[in-house]
Structure 1
């Protein structure tokens, strides 16, 4: 009888330990999502999307120039960062022929620099990039990023939206400690599909 109680007690203790470990793992966000794919590392999974930042920017940009629109936008993430950071936009005003470099973090907007544009720029309309940054990051992470992040130990990651040969693309770059490019991937902003190199 004592042996049965001891065996039952050890079984209950082992079950409780497994439940505690599973709950701890869930709280840290390390449990794979559906399909066996791991989620984005923190704080990337809390990043304001490009479209959310763009909505904040639109309110501010009309005070700078009524016809202002983004030419490029980008986000850089340092591996050891504790917070998600903000989006950098380069705005262009055709009527003023000026460029503005602007940082959007949450609901805050900061003008970093303003200068004359030497030539006309092509503005990125919202319909040029229907696939938002969160979808792009998740697609990249599940296809390449997770493995590269773990194997190559990059210092930083940059996500950039711009034009290449007339095509609007999202570009994901991983950089090493000395600034060398460890990996570069490009995805179509219209579909979220990878472009072949």
Structure 2
């Protein structure tokens, strides 16, 4: 079991990379190389009161170690009559220790338990309000694992730098437990791995 993830979408999803079948690594070595690894999970659930919620869970490797995050967005109740309900949407985000987030290496499960979260909302007349909740998130993989490999420029676009991205993901069932009440839905668990290889800083050209 490996505890590694990303609180946002995979890095490769934001890059204009072309699928390739050849390596981009310089043949003679001598460049700077860096690696990145990230895990993420996201999904949508229906709360017991009928409202929908979007949830995400992540963990990624930072410069000073591993970091994790939990995010919950609860949509406002549907307006079926006038006047509309005064309650509004709620959202909360928490950065957590890496030990509080667990991702299976084969994407079977992603779990965060007993995460304290502050849900904030705003509505006309009431202004800004907050409430404290405790959140459990459990993603259980259900579908096959899909994999993609991309080759192209480094994520930061440095001249002479080439990057390889290997992404994997699978569909998942989602259970959000908020203050003891369960909400279920579907989502996806993903893993991203990347290698960036840069050319030497100095150069005299090819002779």
Higher strand share: 2
Higher helix share: 1
State the TM-score, normalizing by the size of structure 2: 0.29
Q: Indicate the structure (1 or 2) with the bigger Cα radius of gyration.
A: 1
State the TM-score, normalizing by the size of structure 1: 0.30
